[in-house]
Structures are given as C-alpha cells and as structure tokens.
Amino acid sequence: MIRPIPILIEKKETNLRKDSSNPNSLEIEKAFNFYLKNLKPLVAKTGSQQKTGMHGLDTHTNAVVFRGIDYSLHMGYDPIPVIFACAFHDMARTEDEGDTDHGKRAVPMAIKIMKQFPYLLDPETRLSVLSAVLNHTNGRTAQDYISACLWDADRTRMAWYYGYDDKFFNTSRGKYVAQHWKKYIEFQRFCFPKLTWSKQY
C-alpha cells in the first residue's frame, strides 16, 4: 500500500531559498543519506550504469534522487519508494545517449535489490516502483506519486537545457523547479555542500 505521511514541509515555493531555517532541508538530508549509505552501493554493484557523464550514477542519478525526495515530501508522501525508483531508473544504461530499453532492462535488477529490503516496501509498492522505472522514458500521465516524482525529477534537467514544457510534468514542485534551476542549485548546495551540483545534472 502506498501510504501518505504527514506534510513535512511548507508548501511554498520560497523554500528554494538558501535558508538554514528551511523545514525541508533536514528531511531531505535524512532521506538522501539513506540512499547514499544503503541503496547506491547496491545499484553500483548490480547495474551497468557509468559513474559519470550525462546519465552517470555519481552525477545524474544522485541529482534525480535528491529532486525526487524533495518532490515527494512537497506532496506529503513517504519518499522511500521514490528513492528506490529514482536510484533504479538508469541503472541498466550501457551508454549516455539513446538506449531506449534501459528502463525495461532495469526491472529485474530492481527486483533483485528490493528483495534485500523486505520490510520497507510492501508488494503493491514494489510494483509501483517497477512501473515507474519501466515507463520513465516515455510516460506522460503518472498513475501514482512514485511515477510522478521520478519522471519529474528525471526530466527537470531537460527543461533546464531545452526549455520548459508543461506537458512533461506531473507535480507542482517539479513544474516550479524546472523553471527556476539557479535557485534550486543553491538549495542543493545548501543541503549537501560537499557534493558537486551543476545545471548539467
């Protein structure tokens, strides 16, 4: 079951400001550290994804996970399923460009990893994670918040590069961030100053 959780942040777009009193910062830090410590090493070991580049694990996926956590918290939902979906979405890539089937190839890898976390995701939620990963390259209308957050987190960068198009986004947070990348990069740097954040990822 996909369970909503209490709203953890203010639903105001001003929370992109570099502000130490931002209620969103601590929750993102906790969730992102879970990814860095528990999930990212398994993705690196299991997948075929490059570490760097436009779709690298250390570059692009890190940023997608960060944005996915933020978007899910902004909606008032548990970010853990979104973290899994974001971490898995490009793990089967074998090259930076093209490779339209990488979502499909990532599904069995994702199943293998999720088996190591039997108490975090129930069967219904696991299916939602897999669906989000499978359809992230061409999906438009998200069936649940997991798909919505992954797809928006992944596509945010494309809007920064090629211009914003509302039809590719499902969340209000994603729509806002896609149009305000400079403020968001500041926000990422505030939460995790030791990581490299750039418009590229």
Quick: pLDDT tens for 1-51.
444 433 333 334 434 444 444 556 778 999 999 999 999 999 999 999 989
Listed residue (168, 187, 180) closest to 73, CA to CA: 187
Mean pLDDT, rounded, of the chain: 85
Tell me whether residue 13 is in a domain: no
Tell me whether residue 199 is in a domain: no
Tell me whether residue 14 is in a domain: no
Tell me whether residue 184 is in a domain: yes
Q: pLDDT tens digits for 91-118?
A: 998 876 777 778 789 999 999 999 999 8
Listed residue (113, 36, 118) closest to 69, CA to CA: 36
Residues 6+ apart with CB under 8 A from 66: 28, 32, 153, 188, 191, 192
User: What CATH number has the domain bearing residue 101?
Assistant: 1.10.3210.10
More confident residue, 60 or 26: 60
pLDDT at site 5: 37
pLDDT at site 138: 77
Tell me whether residue 201 is in a domain: no
What pLDDT band is residue 70 in, cutting at 50, 70 and 90? very high
pLDDT at site 19: 41
Count of domains observed in the chain: 1
pLDDT at site 24: 65
Tell me whether residue 16 is in a domain: no
Domain that holds residue 61: 24-191
More confident residue, 20 or 151: 151
Residue entry with tokens 């090629």? 162
pLDDT average, residue stretch 139-162: 89
pLDDT at site 115: 95
54 CB burial (10 A radius; 0-12, 13-18, 19+): middle
> How many C-beta neighbours within 10 Å does residue 115 have?
9
Contact between residue 150 and residue 60 where contact means Cβ atoms under 8 Å apart: no
Tell me whether residue 177 is in a domain: yes
Whether the predicted model's global pTM rises above the 0.75 cut: yes
Tell me whether residue 130 is in a domain: yes
